[in-house]
Amino acid sequence: MPRTKQFDKQEVLEKAMELFWEKGFHATSMQDLVTHLGINRASLYDTFGGKEALFESAFQLYRQTSTKHIQQLFKSEQNVRQGFKVLFEKAIEESLNDPCKKGCFVVNTTTELIPGDVKIQRILLENKNNAETLFADYVQKGIANGQIDSAKDAKEIGLMLFTLFNGIRVLAKVDSNPSKLKKVVNLGLSVLA
Amino acid sequence: MPRTKQFDKQEVLEKAMELFWEKGFHATSMQDLVTHLGINRASLYDTFGGKEALFESAFQLYRQTSTKHIQQLFKSEQNVRQGFKVLFEKAIEESLNDPCKKGCFVVNTTTELIPGDVKIQRILLENKNNAETLFADYVQKGIANGQIDSAKDAKEIGLMLFTLFNGIRVLAKVDSNPSKLKKVVNLGLSVLA
DNA sequence: TTTGTATTGGAATGATTGTTCCAAATAAAA
DNA sequence: TTTTATTTGGAACAATCATTCCAATACAAA
C-alpha cells in the first residue's frame, strides 16, 4: 500500500545546491527554491526540514562531490606535480566557463557564515582538515616515489598549496583571466621542485 | 543660520563598516544599523541614501584604509621579503585577535556579491588590479635594489603573492592557527629567493 | 529671542521573509 | 476498485525587510 517517491530527492538537492552555491544562504529565499526545484513548498519542508537543514544537505552534497573528484584525480595521476597542476587549472577553467561565476561553494560559505553559524563552522573546520590531509598525503606520495625531494615537509607544502588553491577560487570570481592565473599556478608549484 | 553637524559622518561610517564587514551585506539589516550607529533612521537615509549606498561608502572606506596601510608598509620597509612577511603575518594575527573572525571585507564581499551586483564587481576588479600593481611594484623594487634575482618576473610573483594573501584571509576564518599559517607564509615567500 | 535647519522618535508603508496548515488531487499498492 | 500514502495549490501566519513620512524637538546662527 505504500507509494513510491514521485520526485528524485537527489535531483532536487542538486538544484538546491546550485542556487545556494550561486547566491549564498541569505540571498536565497524559500520562494526562489520553490520556484526552481520543481517540487511543492509543503513537500520541500516535509523532505528536507527547512531552509537551514536544506542548506546543510546541499552543502554536504557539494563537499562529498568535490572531495571525491580530488581523490580520484590524486589516485589516477601518478605524477604529483601534474596532479596538482590539473586540479588547479581545472578550477580556473571552471570559473572561466561558468557565466554565473559561482566560485567555490566552500569558500563562499566560509566567508558568508563565519562568524555566526557555529554548526557550519565546525563542518568547515573538519572539511579544511580533511583537504589539508588529502593535499599533504599526495605530496608525501611524491616524496615516497622520488618525484619530490625527501627533505621537504609534506604537511607544510600541502597546506601552502591548499591556501593558494583558496586564493585562486577567490580571485577567479573577480577576474577569470586564465593565462595570468595559470602562471600563478606554475609559480606556486615551484615549491615542489 | 545653518547648523553644524550633530554627528561625525566618518565615525558613523566606521561603525557601519564594522557591521557590514562582520555580517555581510544581506545579513545586515537597516534595523541593525540604526541600533548600532547611534543616529536616527531618518538621518541615516538623509545622510547616506539607503542600504546599498551606505554599504558602498563603508566598503570604500575599508579599501582606502587598508590600501593606505599596505602602501605605508611597503614604503617604510626597505627589505622587500621582510615587507611581505610583515604584511602576511599581520593579517594572520589580525584574524587571531579578532573574536568576530570578520576576515577581509574585500574577500567577503567578493564571494558574497559576485555574481549579482555588477557595480560592486567593477569596484572589486579595480581593487584587484590596484593591489596586483602594488604588489608587483614592490617586488620590482626588490629587483631594482638587488635583493631579488633580476631574472624573476615581478608581475607574476606579485600576483602569486596576492593570491596566497587571499587564500590566507579565507583559511584564517576557519582555523586561525598562527604557527601553521606562518610556515605557509615562509614557504610562499620562497618564490622571492 | 527669533529664525531656519538638523535631528529625533515613531508610526506607517507595502513587500518579502520562513513556516505551517489543509483540503483536493494524484498515483501506486492491495 | 479500494486503500493508503504522497504531492499539490493556495491560503494564512507572524515576523522582518527597506523605505518614507511627519510632527516634535534640539540647536546654532542671525
Q: Give pLDDT tens digits for B25-57.
A: 999 999 999 999 989 999 999 999 999 999 999
Nearest alpha carbon to residue A28 among A40, A45, A16 = A16
**pLDDT recorded at residue A7:** 78
Residue A40, CA: closest nucleotide via C1'?
D8
The low-confidence residues of chain A, meaning pLDDT below 70, are 1-5
Give the C-alpha separation, B77 to B58, whole Å. 29
Count CA within 13 A, CB hemisphere, residue B103.
32
Tell me the one-letter amino acid at A173.
K
Q: What is the pLDDT of residue A193?
A: 86
- Which residues in A lie closer than 8 A to residue B92 (C-beta atoms)? none
Nearest residue by alpha-carbon distance to C1' of D9: A40
Instruction: Note the pLDDT of residue B178.
Output: 86
- Which among A73, A183, A76, A46 has a CA at the least distance from the CA of B160? A183
pLDDT at B132: 97
* Average model confidence (pLDDT) across chain B: 94
What is the per-residue pLDDT for B8? 84
Closest nucleotide to residue B26 (Cα to C1')?
D17
d(CA B130, CA B118): 18
Write out chain B residues lying below 8 Å of A170, CB-based: 107, 110-111, 166-167, 170
Question: How far is it, in rounded angstroms, from Cα B173 to Cα B167?
Answer: 10
Q: What is the mean pLDDT of residues B166-172?
A: 96
Phi, psi (degrees; rounded to nearest 5) at B16: -65, -40
B-chain CB neighbours of A111 within 8 Å are 24, 103, 107-108, 110-112, 170, 173
Q: What is the pLDDT of residue B3?
A: 54
pLDDT at position B1: 45
CA distances from B168 to A28, A170, B148, B165 (A): 27, 11, 24, 5
- CB-based contacts of A61-70 (< 8 A; 24+ apart in sequence): A61/A13, A61/A14, A61/A17, A62/A17, A62/A21, A62/A105, A62/A106, A63/A106, A63/A123, A63/A127, A66/A105, A66/A106, A67/A130, A67/A131, A67/A134, A70/A131, A70/A134
Asked if the Cβ–Cβ distance from B23 to A116 is below 8 Å, we say yes
CB atoms within 10 A of CB A91: 19
Q: Output the pLDDT for position B7.
A: 79
Residue pairs spanning A and B at CB distance below 8 A? 142
pLDDT in tens, B85-138: 999 999 999 998 999 999 999 999 999 999 999 999 999 999 999 999 999 999
Please state the pTM of the whole predicted model. 0.94
Separation CA B82–CA A130 (nearest Å): 32
Say if residues A114 and B103 touch (Cβ distance below 8 Å): yes
Question: What does the pLDDT read at residue B100?
Answer: 92
Question: B92 with B178: CB under 8 angstroms?
Answer: yes
What per-residue confidence (pLDDT) applies to B139? 98
Helices (H), chain A: 9-23, 30-37, 41-48, 51-76, 80-97, 105-113, 118-144, 154-174, 178-188
A128, A153, A190 ranked by CB distance to B175: nearest: A128
Sign of CA dihedral A135, A140, A142, A145: negative
Contact status, residue A116 vs residue B23, Cβ threshold 8 Å: yes
